[in-house]
Structure 1
């Protein structure tokens, strides 16, 4: 049976055949030239792809929205807020208290009960979104169409587009486990919300130095990499903005590489967040992470291209069994914390993501 240690984990798969793709190594027979991810030195997603993504979402939105069976009115959040004033839906009448606005006296109830009552109204509840993009090293892997981080940017764009359509408030977070770095956006709303979100997540300039440091990491540090990533992800969960309203939609877009049954602190924090927010995890996967192509000459190596382990046909099969069990367990861990989980591969299209959001 194939045994993988901490330095030989799923995101570190490499199909060893010489290429000029430092972050997307694969066997030439695995994917056609047109299927390979295109890597830009400055952007995860080139700005030209932003408008293409918006056009794709515009074409898909109305049929998808109508299929939900909901009105096109502004969507509401989970947590109502009480207010006195006109233009709000009537909630109830309560006994008049000093300081209540006399414009909202309930005269009909006063005549019936012979006591002063004030009308209370329930305003529309504004939907709030907080999206978290994971751009850690394990997300910079892909053998089909896009790197995982590139596909994650498309997920962020899709949610930003839905938020714009629903006139919701949106804020973004960018996270990198390698230096425990977290970046926050302002709170956005309005017509250009999609463009602002894409500009925030697509520019990879802040991550270039992280890549260089990673390539120079010594083997002695790799044994601690999983534990450090768990700690970094736990820090991320504790860094969710304190002013995020209860009932907000909190969406993590990641491969959740560091999440396993021994990451108790992470799982506890996920459970805690799920008690206050609507937590969703969009798990980005590459097809090769679950099932290796039936080729000879495949090897597993670490991120530095060292310590290769040759795989025969039986070991490739054993790996696929192990990988699928590991991914399914990870999904079960999150669902057990009250998190809605959606899995999306690097070679899948936006329409497939929207369909899974319906379920």
Structure 2
């Protein structure tokens, strides 16, 4: 049974929390001004090659100083260098270019879980939509990959609203496929994200911003190496969507144990057993600490997103 607060947000999203609809993803387009007031600190950009364009006006980023030539704009003369050398020098500026933004959504069947507000998969869709609309408003080109291991949709970065809408339509299509497989209790695909990131390395051009959204329930050294390699010439951000029950079992007083199933194994949890809850919490905490450590060792920023809290309530904390 949903709490009153959860029901409030579901009504606001026009969502059932299980399967996303286009109208709830469009909701975030109107929230961009509020998001802008809670600007995120982006990780440092590690990229090779300048963002130079011949199609847009002169940017404001300084590039270099050279000798003044006939026809140069006198407003660009560097008077300090001119005074020091005795010869006129002019400043050159690097032209601006919209930045390619890639959004990757891992809709593996492990994402089809939620104990409170939303399925993790639905929160993944919400986060991708918010990031896509934010990038589109900045003037960046938006593309990405949506995959669940069986279906795989690729979108090259495109400008304007149409590019975002095409990406969101693919998001809904792949999520519907995941939901159908989850209802049929199909065994989860082994590691769809690894294949997606390997493909991403061939699509992304240096200097891009790459957002990876997953629950990272399954990751190994090979996946982390792919991500680290991608991060050397781009700016990679990893978002882990989690459900609170994956970190701590709720207190319960029912005499009947709770049956849980991860697609491969089934277990019985006694929520009234304090020792069992403590062991569960200790195991979950150790796993989280290990995950943080290995991501940090590979230079990958990892941000946690709670599927039980409305995205706009935690947006300012998504560092």
Which category describes the TM-score, using the shorter chain as reference length?
0.7 to 0.9
User: What's the secondary structure of 1:215's corresponding residue?
Assistant: coil
What are the residue-to-residue correspondences of 1:233-252 with 2, within 5 Å? 233-240=193-200, 242-252=202-212
Query: Please, which of 102, 105, 119 is the counterpart of residue 147 of structure 1?
Result: 119
Q: Alpha carbon RMSD of aligned pairs, Å?
A: 3.9
Note if 1:190 corresponds to 2:174: no
The Cα of 1:254 is off from its aligned counterpart by 0.7
Equivalent-residue separation in structure 2 for 1:86 and 1:145 (angstroms): 46
> Contact conserved, 1:271 with 1:337, CA < 8 A, in 2?
yes
Corresponding residue number in structure 2 for 1:339 = 300
Q: TM-score, normalised by structure 1?
A: 0.68
Give the drift of 1:233: 2.7
The reply to whether residue 320 of structure 1 matches residue 281 of structure 2 is: yes
Please tell me whether the aligned partners of residues 153 and 170 of structure 2 are also in contact (alpha carbons under 8 angstroms): no
- Report what 1:61 is aligned to: 35
Deviations 1:278-317 (A, max 9, x none): 1111110111111111114333543469743343321121
Shift of 1:61: 3.1
Q: Give the TM-score normalised by the residue count of structure 2.
A: 0.76
Q: String of CA shifts for 1:202-238, please: whole Å, max 9, x gaps.
A: 23344355436x6254xxxx8xx7xx32xx3322221
**Structure 1 segments unaligned to the other structure (5+ residues):** 1-27, 69-75
- Which residue of structure 2 aligns with residue 87 of structure 1? 58
* 8 Å contact from structure 1 (residues 174, 182) kept in 2: yes
**1:198-217 counterparts in 2 under 5 A?**
198-203=168-173, 204-207=175-178, 210-211=181-182, 215-217=185-187
Could you tell me which residue of structure 2 aligns to residue 50 of structure 1? 25
TM-aligned CA deviation for residue 81 of structure 1: 4.3
What is the SS of the residue equivalent to 2:202?
Answer: coil
Q: Equivalents in 2 of 1:83, 1:251: separation in Å?
A: 23
For residues 258 and 95 of structure 1, what CA distance do their matches in structure 2 show?
57
Q: Structure 2: where are the runs of 5+ without partners?
A: 8-14
How many residue pairs get aligned? The number is 296
SS in 1 for 2:218: coil
